[in-house]
Chain A
Amino acid sequence: MTDVTTNKKQGSGGLVASIFGENANLVQILLEGRAFFALIAIIIIFSILSPNYATVSNFLIMANHVAIFGLLSVGMMLVILNGGIDLSVGSVLGLTGVFAGFLMQGVELEAAGVILYPPVWAVVVLTLGLGAFVGAVNGVLVAYFRVPAFVATLGSLYVARGVALLMTNGLTFNNLSGNESLGNTGFDWLGFNRIGGVPIGVIILAVVAIAAGLMLSRTAFGRWLYSSGGNERAAELSGVPVKKVQITVYVLSGMCAAIAGLVLSSQLTSAGPTAGTTYELTAIAAVVVGGASLMGGRGTVRGTLLGAFVIGFLSDGLVIIGVSSYWQTVFTGAVIVLAVMLNSIQYGGKAKKG
């Protein structure tokens, strides 16, 4: 990993900057260039160590894994930009997966004596709605009841996980494929189909990321988010609806978690209540590795995506070359600390110049 970091200063980040077409100044290029070069280094090292690593099919498989964390990370990044944190995303992922599975099994209305089998599109919409609802609860707790984000979302982490366990009694929904006669087939499309060889999960991640990138750089909401994360009081006095912004980021984060929940349960063709445990930590790690500041106000979508890929490609690479999963954990931790350390150096230097 050390050669990765020494690269950062020579970084010509033109390639990085062109990925999303934003105009990036030198500081941003350096910052995100760091994650980019880390990714290149990871790919090179593992390609040398294993002939199977640098193949198109392996990249697509790894990208499919990264899609889950990537979706969570994008939502998490919005919350972190606002100066908050969302610890509930892993649990929301599990809960929404279980909820989708529950809907696929059919909803029995006892009073009417019928079992409803909602079509897949309705399952998706309802599941997204559930993710948004949990997010809204988080947002209201943080914005209006002044519960620290860490505590509010820690609470939802437990509640969402608990509800997921209650819904299944601790078991897993295994039959998600639906039934042709009931008109609810197609759920596995999300996890298994490909368009032009690219898994749907990766495409969804790309769509979400581009939408989030556009929102941040080109909409009023994006400006509101950066300003209220940078200095909430100043933003408020400038007419920014800071509370609305705060609630919205948690809702968006919850929806991202719900999308990830749908993709994951589709990939696995089963919905277990313990899915996504500790994923929130991976998501935070990706955001941090991607150069965002935990104090809020600084961070980009492409940085976060690079962070997610660094972490995903690293741990998959370690699996491929046969390193024990315990070592993976150690490596991931080291990468996170290194990233934050470099962030501090970067921001510290910038402050001195200013």
Chain B
Amino acid sequence: MKVPVHDETPTTTPDKVEVVLAARDVTKSFGAVHALKGVNFDVHRGQVTTLFGENGAGKSTLMKILSGVHMPTTGELMLDGAPVEIRSTVEARELGISIIHQELSLAPNMNVRDNIFLGREIMGPRGVNFAEEERQCRILMEELEEDIDPLTPVEDLRLGQQQIVEIARALSVNSRILIMDEPTSALSAAEVEVLFKVIHDLKARGVSIVYISHHLEEALTITDHAVVLRDGVMTAYAPRAEIDLEWIVRNMVGENFDLGSPPTGYDFGDTALSIEGLSVPAPGGSGYSVVDRLSLNVRQGEIVCIYGLMGAGRTELMECVAGRLPASGGTVRLHGRDLAGMTIAQRIEAGLVLTPEDRQRDGLVQTMTVGQNLSLASIGAFTRRLLTSKADEQEIIERSIREVTIKTDGGGAAIGSLSGGNQQKVVIGKMLATKPSVVLLDEPSRGIDIGAKAEVFRLLSEGAKDGLAVVYSTSEVSECLSIAHRIIVMHKGKISATFGPDATKEQIMAASGEVDLQQSLTAAFGLDHCEVVTDLHQEDLALGPLGAAGGSFLASVIAKGKVGVIGVGHGRTLLSCVENLPPQSAPNLRVVSLMGALTTGADMNPHAVVTRLADKTGAEAASMPVPFIANSTADRDVLLGQKAAQRAADLAAQADLMIVGIGTTGAQAELVTTGMIEQAEMAGIAEAGGVGEMLGHFFDKRGKPVGSEITDRILTQPLDRLKGRRIVAVAGGEIKIHAIKAVLESGLLSGLIIDEHTARAIVDMDKPDTAQH
């Protein structure tokens, strides 16, 4: 995970820094359960202290003690060196300790201002003093350097911004200590960066932060001190300078836990599950597929791992195979038998089971006992005629508890009394009790600690040895590289790569699309604006999404009003951008064609683009009323000497923004098909190595200009006048990959709007070592 690091190492030594909050021998027991056993650590002024630990290690209990939800059983908290008892969250807040929970506690229907002052509204003589609240709210947002309007409803904000609002709320009560529970779990990389910047600013203001995260690398980049908990015991406490990732993991996990390796020593059986060209439509009838013509065969005894990011289609694939979601195409066969039209119950009967991703929502019946949950999927097995047999049911329950090693008081215990790992084992045990031949597990390791994970994997691995076909999904790479014989990487509903157990983490992550395309392109080609649009329909040129993105880019540029002259190029993509531009009045704007606008038999020449743009904005249009290409260089100069052409060229020289398309140099290039350039001429350019075209200039794959003898006849801006200007290209499509790359290499572009597939192809070109078999 590459997370932008603010690479200031903590400079202050702990001795000199004031300790604001300290825990001394804090223990906490709930009945017979000892959640915390003797925890000692300090929170320093203006520094970040991170709590590391697995689920159930006691992090949240400790956090609840710090924030006044619980009182410690023994031991004490010291605030500014004096012992303090925090009896409630209100008291904690009065002492300057605020907590930001993982689930944000904002009212989505209310605006930012009302949320920040919720419960402590500033009252004036005539009710709430909204003006004063708004003023303070603006000051807070300024301090946090966030451009959030106090009157925006919270539901309209991105999650990262909502988090900022939470922070602002904590700051508005003058919090000196801010506890953040998993603040990054739902944020995008860019939002994490903003959050970390805010954390840095808060530190600078002397706010101490207690940070909790499962994301170890990320937490390491901002923390100053680490506290590691395991089973309620504090196993380590050290300043950042003395620790590394391995240290944390070692202290968290204890011994070196191994998630296992693929079971060997037997041959796979026949194909158990065969998926052919399966498609699953997205909910809501939007027309695209979340699983897209996917094929996969799994044999008896084989363990297949499906890796993919959120939204890759893993869950949908599994739920469709299990019969919960309808397919829009393709077949699923179990031992050669077509499953089409079969209900979930029939599929379970046939030997195909699914354990769902969200065990609370889809896996367990909370109102039933452990035993009733375990036997739920095999009721038929203990029903004799009409009535169920208690003895038979008990036998099934006891066998399941034994086989999947569930730690429970017995079948009669409440399901809620089990830990997460044991609950997960109940879900798995329930499905295994039906004696399946194929088991699908959607994120079986989600939310359970590493010990339980290892046990679940051992269970699966033993099942496979007995001939069970296992398919499990995960979003953690380390779990792919454990018991799986085969690793399938899914991306956007398709299998993007298949690996054996010897794959590397990097290979798997690269194939999953876990590279930030926008960032990669921006960094690689020095762009200051880059937009990667999602192309769901995968057209050849992605005109729809590109047009929409280009249109809104133009709209925002025009709306800002800082651009006086826009120069435009030619091509279908550009025309589509202009078509997508919402009508918008900008009478002071001038638009100018950057190239000769007259062509024969083309309805998307520069003239068309300019006129359409002028129509939509009411801008003054200056088209270059000359041909695109002249017969000779001399002719070109004559043509450019024309008054109208002269004026357009002068205007073009002043353009604050040039928005251009990118073309190929093939026989099907737009320049050729529209008759702007003759086929033979284009062939010559291609021969000279030219692969991409922009504004009538041709570039080879290294970005060097070629074909100058032709360019010299084209009525366009000379190359030297394009350097250092603000040029934004809108282009995409499979056929243009090399053309776009060439133009990017030329270094002329300052902005690019591109579709995702093309962007990925370009980013991938730079690392040929990424093995994708």
Chain A interface (Cβ within 8 Å of chain B)?
Answer: 25, 214, 218-220, 223-224, 226-227, 229-231, 233-241, 293, 296-298, 350-351, 353-354
| Further pairs besides A239-B345, A241-B343, A350-B414: 16, Cβ < 8 Å | A25-B412, A218-B388, A220-B383, A230-B368, A231-B361, A231-B366, A235-B376, A237-B344, A237-B362, A238-B376, A238-B431, A239-B348, A293-B367, A351-B416, A354-B414, A354-B416
The smallest C-beta distance from B385 to any residue of chain A, in angstroms, reads 10
CA distance A271 to B307 in the complex (A): 67
Given contacts A220-B383, A233-B362, A239-B345, contact A227 B388 (CB under 8 A): no
CA distance A237 to B322 in the complex (A): 8
What chain A residues lie within 8 Å of B434 (beta carbons)?
239
Mark contacts of B162-179 with chain A using CB atoms, 8 A cut-off: 1 yes-contact digit, 0 otherwise.
000000000000000000
CA distance A234 to B380 in the complex (A): 17
> Does B417 belong to the interface (CB within 8 Å)?
yes
Closest to A218 in B: B387
Q: List 19 A-B contacts (CB under 8 A).
A: A218-B387, A219-B387, A220-B383, A227-B376, A231-B361, A231-B366, A233-B356, A233-B362, A234-B362, A235-B376, A237-B324, A237-B344, A237-B354, A237-B362, A238-B348, A238-B431, A293-B367, A297-B367, A354-B417
What chain B residues lie within 8 Å of A224 (beta carbons)?
379
Assess whether B345 is in contact with A220, with CB atoms less than 8 Å apart: no
Closest to B379 in A: A220
> Does B53 belong to the interface (CB within 8 Å)?
no
Contact of A239 (CB < 8 Å), options: B349, B356, B387: B349
CA distance A230 to B373 in the complex (A): 11
CA distance A92 to B191 in the complex (A): 58
What chain B residues lie within 8 Å of A236 (beta carbons)?
324, 344
What chain B residues lie within 8 Å of A231 (beta carbons)?
361-362, 364-367
The smallest C-beta distance from A223 to any residue of chain B, in angstroms, reads 5
> Does B430 belong to the interface (CB within 8 Å)?
yes
What chain B residues lie within 8 Å of A214 (beta carbons)?
387
> Does B377 belong to the interface (CB within 8 Å)?
yes
The smallest C-beta distance from A346 to any residue of chain B, in angstroms, reads 13
What chain A residues lie within 8 Å of B368 (beta carbons)?
226-227, 230, 297
The smallest C-beta distance from A145 to any residue of chain B, in angstroms, reads 18
Closest to A354 in B: B416
CA distance A25 to B368 in the complex (A): 13
The smallest C-beta distance from B416 to any residue of chain A, in angstroms, reads 3
The smallest C-beta distance from A266 to any residue of chain B, in angstroms, reads 30
What chain B residues lie within 8 Å of A218 (beta carbons)?
387-388
> Does B386 belong to the interface (CB within 8 Å)?
yes
What chain B residues lie within 8 Å of A298 (beta carbons)?
367
* A-B CB proximity, top 9 nearest: A354-B416, A297-B367, A230-B367, A239-B345, A230-B365, A238-B377, A239-B348, A231-B365, A218-B387
The smallest C-beta distance from A248 to any residue of chain B, in angstroms, reads 15
Closest to B361 in A: A233
Closest to B414 in A: A354
What chain B residues lie within 8 Å of A229 (beta carbons)?
367
Closest to B362 in A: A233
| Number of chain B interface residues as a range | 20 to 34
> Does B372 belong to the interface (CB within 8 Å)?
yes
What chain A residues lie within 8 Å of B379 (beta carbons)?
220, 223-224
The smallest C-beta distance from B442 to any residue of chain A, in angstroms, reads 10
The smallest C-beta distance from B623 to any residue of chain A, in angstroms, reads 57
Mark contacts of B489-532 with chain A using CB atoms, 8 A cut-off: 1 yes-contact digit, 0 otherwise.
00000000000000000000000000000000000000000000
The smallest C-beta distance from A80 to any residue of chain B, in angstroms, reads 13
Assess whether B412 is in contact with A223, with CB atoms less than 8 Å apart: no
Assess whether A230 is in contact with B366, with CB atoms less than 8 Å apart: yes
CA distance A297 to B372 in the complex (A): 12
CA distance A241 to B417 in the complex (A): 28
CA distance A48 to B688 in the complex (A): 113
Given contacts A219-B388, A227-B376, contact A239 B344 (CB under 8 A): yes
> Does B463 belong to the interface (CB within 8 Å)?
no
What chain A residues lie within 8 Å of B363 (beta carbons)?
234, 237
Assess whether B367 is in contact with A226, with CB atoms less than 8 Å apart: yes
CA distance A351 to B416 in the complex (A): 8
What chain A residues lie within 8 Å of B387 (beta carbons)?
214, 218-219
CA distance A48 to B231 in the complex (A): 60
CA distance A233 to B358 in the complex (A): 10
CA distance A240 to B324 in the complex (A): 12
Assess whether A219 is in contact with B362, with CB atoms less than 8 Å apart: no
CA distance A235 to B379 in the complex (A): 12
What chain A residues lie within 8 Å of B377 (beta carbons)?
238-239
CA distance A233 to B375 in the complex (A): 16
CA distance A219 to B322 in the complex (A): 26
Given contacts A25-B412, A234-B365, contact A219 B386 (CB under 8 A): yes
What chain A residues lie within 8 Å of B386 (beta carbons)?
219
What chain B residues lie within 8 Å of A220 (beta carbons)?
379-380, 383, 388
Mark contacts of B400-437 with chain A using CB atoms, 8 A cut-off: 1 yes-contact digit, 0 otherwise.
00000000000010101100000000000011001000
Closest to B376 in A: A238
Closest to A27 in B: B414
The smallest C-beta distance from A238 to any residue of chain B, in angstroms, reads 4
Contact of B430 (CB < 8 Å), options: A25, A238, A297, A351: A238
CA distance A219 to B382 in the complex (A): 10
Assess whether A223 is in contact with B388, with CB atoms less than 8 Å apart: yes
What chain B residues lie within 8 Å of A223 (beta carbons)?
372, 375-376, 379, 388
